Structures are given as C-alpha cells and as structure tokens.
Chain A
C-alpha cells in the first residue's frame, strides 16, 4: 500500500470515530502543549539571564585582589590587597589583547541634594568604563579625560539614584554633596537593571577615580581592575596575559602565589544559569510525563480499535493484505492520531505561552527547535505506543479474524 493510502486510511478511520479520536488525542495535546509552555518559560528565563550577563559588559576581564594565606590560615578574598592604579596603568600600556582598562574604587557614602538624601555606592572609574561596561548616558554626558586628569568634582548618577534624588526635573548641571564635597552632575546613566544575582546596578554614582581617590576614599589600593578584550575569542589568552603582567607588576618571583585573581564573565551568573537549566529540565520532565500518559491513552484506544475491527482485519487479509500491511495501517493510524494531537498541542502551547507571558510578564521564548522537538516526540509516542496494538492486529489469524463476531 502506498503511504498516501495509509495516511488517507488513518484519517478515514479517525473521522469514523471523531469523538473518541479527539478524546484520545487530548492526552497528547495537553502533553505537547505543556512541554512547549514549560520549555518556553525555561528558555525565556535562561535568555534573560544571558542578557543580564551580557549587560555587565562585553568581553570583560575582572582583576581582584587575591587572598593571603599564611600558615594555612586564609585571610579571605581581598585580605592582601595590593592592587593599585599603577597596575591598571601597566595593563593599559602593555596589554596587547586588551582594548580598554579601568581601575575601580568603591566607597559607600550618603549623597545629599536639597532636602533629599540617599545612601549609595560611589565608583571611581576611568572614562573607559563606559566602553567596558557598555554603559552610555541617558542624558547629559560622560566626564572627559581632561576632567579625570585634573581631579574635577564631576559625577554621573545611576538611574535609581537620579530617580530618588530628583523625582522630577533634570539632574544634569545640578550640584550634589558627597561627604560634604560638592560635585556637579554631568550626566545620568542609562538604566541597566539587575545583575544575575539580583542587585540593582543603577543604584550607583560614577566619578573620576582620581577625584574619588583624593577627595573621598583617600586609599591607595583599588577594589578591582576591569579590562575588555578586542574580541570574545581573545578572553582566555588575555586572561593569561593579564596574569603575566600582574605578576611582573607585583614583582612576584617564581613559586610565589598570585596575590590577585583574574576572572571573566563566564563565571558570573553560572549558578543562576545552572538553576534555570535544572528548572527547565525538571519542568519539561514533568510535562513529558503527561505526554507519556497521552501515549498510553492512544495505546489503550488502539487496542480497543484492533479488537473492534478484528473482522475488518480478516477481510483485508482475505483480500490480499499482508501482515505488514495491517501492521503499517494501525501504526500509521496511531502516529497520525498522536501527530495531529502534537500539532494541535504545539499551537495551543504557543497560545498559552503568549497568555502566560502577558499575564505574568515573564520572559518566554518559544523556539522552533522546541516545537520541532515536541512534534517529533509526539510522533515518537505514536510509534512507541502504537507498536504493540499494531503487532496484535498483524498477528491475528485470518480465519479466526473472519469468523470474529
């Protein structure tokens, strides 16, 4: 029999029992729909986390102070801070693979403006910070290299800080006080949102590191050095280069441990990414269970159908159908049944995903691969659960089948 005949036959037989066929398909419809929805939610969450990681900056390398450990007692991260602005200068000068470098100094302080005040973190950075973190201004401008060189008391407000200190009105050109030092606001940064760990990146003030060092922190050592590479592929080699340069800069002899740490973004948000991956797998696994239950429903109905149609099988065999023809007929029927269910389920899944996204505001991502996978899976369910009934049909004895009442 030709494949087109088999499919036609399957559709004919499904039409003959429309109500029952729909109820049978329902299991697969629900199974496929839930797999599509769950995967879409999981993938959406992963995409959002990836976006947040990219949001931290592109091709970024982070140098932080290392740990001291004397006599087996660890001092914890940063216990041996020897990072200096000179290190950053050296990396900038010597780093072949680095496109930009900035020192970062943190200090937490209260900021006053008129009657308002806000407690936040001030980052003392270089102008290159804009490029490394991909963080342009929303209004106003970035401070200039000239302002940096001459320790000017200028600053950029993060979106959260700007919103709190200047609920209405433009902060640009206004004066704010940081530890009683008046700073001029030259720009407001674009909102960046949360880090993968959930802290607000916009609750920040940026100022030239020179000014922060002399006016606010007064400390010689800096919290970290950020650098970016020319391309994404350069990151591993650049990290090696940074290590070599840093050891040189810190005059470390062979055998001495690094007194700094070099990280890249891949280590950031790894935990969060892992969690959502596990969640996606878990959700899909639970959804798959309903697909399997749907498959069992198909097997059940196909077994009933084989019994009901024993005589039909006998007639077909008498008229010249081989066992293989009968097997193919019932197998194709169950595949068509579950495939149709899969198709309806995929459409339903896309609709439900859209509704869930609208109602909850979660990021969702229905990918073609997840749809294809769900459809293939439903077809597979049809083959797997249709096999046994089809085998039963094919194994029937012609004479017995013809006599069956």
Chain B
C-alpha cells in the first residue's frame, strides 16, 4: 500500500480543566489506508471527539505524531493547519453547519474561496458537479431553510467533496436525521467510498457503523477494539427494513456500549 491517509503514533492529548488534567487521548496508534471507510465509535468521554478534532487538524496533539496524507501535522501553526484542512480534508458535521441564508451553490463554493494554490480553474462548474454527484443538481439555488434535513446533509457532503480531499471526515453525520434519511445518507457515503474516497465517520450509533468496512471503538482515551465489520450492510438492502419497520441488529459488535451513556 502507498502512503496511509492517516497515521497516528502514540498520540496523547491532555487538557487542563481548572486544577485537574484530563487525559482525553492516552497514546493512540492508528493507521487508515486509502479507500477505507472507518467508523470511530465510543461513548461521550471516550475521547472520540478529541480524536475527531485531531484528525481534522482542528486541534494539535500534546505529544505523538500525526501524518495526514504524508504531511506532518503536529508542528504546523494555525495558518498552515487552516491551509491543510482546505487542501486535504472535507468536513461533514452533525448539525450540517451550512451557512444560513446562503444558497446550496454558495455553500459548496465556500471551501474553494479559501484555496490559496489556485487549484480550481472553474469553481462554479465544480460546485455544480459536486451537487449533481450528491443528487441535488436541481436545488442549487435553494437556501438551507428550504431544504429537508437529508438534503442539507447532501449539500454539506457536496461541500466536503468539492475540493477532492484526501479524507472525508464526518462527525455524527446522521445524528439529526430520521432512520429513512440516515439510510439515504449512508448509501451516499458508500457510493462515494466505492468511487475511492477515504471516509472516516465518528458516531456513537452502532447502526451507522454497520455500513462501514472497519469499526474502531474508543474507551477512556485508548483504542479498545479495531475490527473489520462482518456482514457489512449495503444501504440499498436496508431500504427493505426501513419499510418493514425492522431495526438492524449490530450482533457482530457484541461489546459495543449502548449509545447515549452519560460520561
């Protein structure tokens, strides 16, 4: 295999909370290759948000090394990390995080406005293509409030894709969606992954993990389990249980904690 997309070595992250020090990550080793689709799971307080912020170059590890697509991240200053996010990463958030009163097209154009390398000769056409790719070619001039939750998340995915990132990083992407829309969005992720895009989804829902190829569970700042998903579900099949009202069982993740446990 070539350069891994993500390579973490003994990554630690400590926070000072008042007098106390919280060890959010206690030495995480992680390698994610090109083309993977990984779920990062864990309860609140497991360190998964910190890991997500670290992977997203929003936060810096206290110690250890992080390479994103071959680039050393831990030594970079604030501006360099902003540029790296722009070049290498596509973010999809739980709350969609689209700019309000701004059309779908303008939202998708946004990351290209901050491009400093002149990578995109025709941002407008690119943005339109990205919207078509997520099935929203018809709604380019709608503002978020005119779109359904699923459609808003598709706009967010289009925005994450438009710069051809090395990694698509999704933080609870289905947290605000109903079951039906969850399936739709996960089907889209699978489709994009099939096209070769590396995807990392941070979630506390087992039913999201079953669409991924690999599931990593964090507990108390360490990787507790790192398994290939057995009997991975294809989103198309899941349309069936949606109609019958049948909830999927994550029987292959026996030690997975129930979601929503207080930290």
Contact with B along A314-327 (1 / 0, CB 8 A): 11111111111100
What's the least CB distance linking B95 to chain A, in Å? 8
Minimum CB–CB distance for A12 against chain B, Å? 8
What are 30 contact pairs spanning A and B, CB under 8 A?
Answer: A1-B113, A1-B114, A5-B113, A16-B101, A312-B99, A312-B100, A315-B97, A315-B98, A315-B110, A316-B110, A318-B56, A318-B85, A318-B91, A319-B85, A319-B91, A320-B85, A320-B87, A320-B111, A320-B114, A321-B82, A321-B114, A322-B82, A322-B114, A323-B78, A323-B82, A325-B82, A398-B58, A399-B59, A402-B58, A402-B93
**CA A120 to CA B193, docked complex, whole Å:** 106
A1 CA / B83 CA spacing, docked (Å): 12
Residue on A with the closest CB to B82?
Answer: A322
Interface set of A (CB-CB < 8 Å, partner B): 1, 5, 12, 16, 311-312, 314-325, 398-399, 402
- Enumerate chain B residues within 8 angstroms of A321, measured Cβ to Cβ: 82, 114
Tell me the complex Cα distance, A391–B97, Å: 23
Q: A316-B110, A318-B56, A320-B115 are in contact. Are A402 and B82 (CB under 8 A)?
A: no
Is B204 on the interface with A (CB-CB < 8 A)?
Answer: no
Q: How many residues of B contact A (CB 8 A)?
A: 25
Q: Which residue of B lies closest to A317 (CB)?
A: B82
In the complex the two chains form, what is the Cα distance from A12 to B110 in whole Å? 14
Residue of A nearest to B87 (CB): A320
Smallest beta-carbon distance A137→chain B, Å = 74
- The verdict on B138 contacting chain A, using a C-beta distance below 8 Å, is no
Chain A positions within 8 Å of B114 at CB level: 1, 316, 319-322, 325
Confirm or deny: B217 has a beta carbon within 8 angstroms of a beta carbon on chain A: no
Contact B110–A319 (Cβ < 8 Å): yes
In the bound complex, CA of A315 to CA of B113 (Å): 13
CB within 8 Å of A: which B106-145 residues: 110-111, 113-115
Asked whether B79 lies within 8 Å of A318 as measured between CB atoms, the reply is: no
Please, which residue of chain A has its CB at the minimum distance from the CB of B52?
A399
Let me know if B101 and A318 touch, CB within 8 A.
Answer: no
Are the CB atoms of A318 and B58 closer together than 8 Å?
yes
Whether the Cβ atoms of A322 and B79 lie closer than 8 Å is yes
Q: Which residue, A1, A318, A320, A325, has most C-beta atoms of chain B within 10 A? A: A320
CB distance from B86 to the nearest CB of A (A): 2
Nearest-neighbor residue (CB-CB) of A405 within chain B: B95
In the bound complex, CA of A109 to CA of B52 (Å): 104
- Residues of A close to B111: CB separation below 8 A: 319-320
Query: Within 8 Å CB of A5, what residues of B?
Result: 113
A12 CA to B100 CA, complexed, in Å: 12
Residue in A1, A16, A324, A399 whose Cβ sees the most chain B Cβ within 10 Å:
A399
Q: Which residues of B contact A322 (CB under 8 A)?
A: 78-79, 82-83, 114
Which A residue sits closest to B101, measured CB to CB? Answer: A16
Q: Are B97 and A320 in contact (CB under 8 A)?
A: no
- Looking at the assembled complex, report how far the CB atom of A120 sits from the nearest CB atom of chain B, in whole angstroms: 77
Candidates A317, A319, A398; contact of B159 at CB < 8 Å: A319
Distance in angstroms between the alpha carbons of A321 and B53 in the assembled complex: 16
Are the CB atoms of A320 and B58 closer together than 8 Å?
Answer: no
Most buried by A among B56, B99, B100: B99
Question: Which of B53, B79, B97, B113 has the largest number of chain A CB atoms within 10 A?
Answer: B113
Q: Which residue of B lies closest to A312 (CB)?
A: B99
A312–B102 Cα gap in the complex (Å)?
11
User: When chains A and B are docked, how far (Å) is the Cα of A15 from the Cα of B97?
Assistant: 21
